[in-house]
Amino acid sequence: MKIIMLGAPGAGKGTQAKMIAEKYGVPHVSTGDIFRANIKNGTQLGMEAKKYMDQGLLVPDELTVRILLDRVAQDDCKNGYVLDGFPRTIPQAQVLDEALTKLGDKIDYAIDVDVPDENIIRRMSGRRACLTCGATYHIEHIPPKKEGICDKCGSELVLRDDDKPETVKNRLAVYHEQTQPLIDFYEKKGVLRTVDGTLPMEEVFAAITGILG
């Protein structure tokens, strides 16, 4: 079972990807994690990627796909995997598609966790983080016992820059421009399934497992 998770930043697709991986016993493959592991282990692919990253450049699609294919060729992926954070653009999806086809393989499902922008802005701007111990809260869903203070270490909680409404709006604009077209791409392939990401986390997961069986 080879699955791609789609959805805007803050839609909760990473959480769902981890839950799917755990339930079905397949790896949760995050491109960020793979890059970090390759760089840390000093692999040839990792060193190639690092050259671009050190210059503040995006790693080219072809190299990203090579690193990804290297990861999914490992034994723990033989029964499938959940891809999280890739592909982000149509060219990436096409390169991945061609590479999998050469291996006689394909993606089984692209699951879109659909959440309207206004919900995401509200959801993310409600997050609060403790910069001292790393604990996270949400003013509506997981509030601290004392407003603005971390339960665990007593430090002040902050709204991180990347959770501020103006930052979230910019990230959503990039998502709609680059990543939204993937929904049409996978719909044409007949593998797209959409779930309502505004539902409680357990209900979103139940909808996904209903699709996957």
Condensed to tens digits (0 to 9), the pLDDT of residues 10-60 reads 899 989 999 999 999 999 998 888 888 999 999 999 999 989 888 888 788
* Per-residue confidence (pLDDT) for residue 174, from 0 to 100: 86
User: What's the whole-number mean pLDDT along residues 106-117?
Assistant: 96
Check whether 106 has a pLDDT greater than 90.
yes
pLDDT attached to residue 56: 80
The residues that bridge with 193 in the sheet, in sequence order, are: 111
Contact 111, 6 (CB under 8 A): yes
- The pLDDT mean for the chain works out to 92
Residue 156: φ, ψ to 5°: -75, 140
Architecture of domain 2-115+169-212: 3-Layer(aba) Sandwich (3.40)
Report how far residue 175's alpha carbon sits from residue 35's, in angstroms, rounded to the nearest whole number: 21
Q: Please answer whether residues 105 and 135 qualify as being in contact, where contact means their C-beta atoms are separated by less than 8 angstroms.
A: no
Query: In this structure, are residues 179 and 6 in contact, taking their beta carbons and an 8 Å threshold?
Result: yes
pLDDT at 85 over 90: no
Q: Is 111 exposed, middle or buried (0-12, 13-18, 19+ CB in 10 A)?
A: buried
The catalytic residues are 13, 88, 127, 160, 171
Cβ neighbours, 10 Å, residue 79: 12
Mean pLDDT, rounded, for 143-147: 96
E strand map for 7-70: 28-30
What lies within 8 Å, CB to CB, of 112 at 6+ separation is 6, 7, 183, 192, 193, 194, 195
The arithmetic mean of pLDDT across residues 153-159, rounded, is: 96
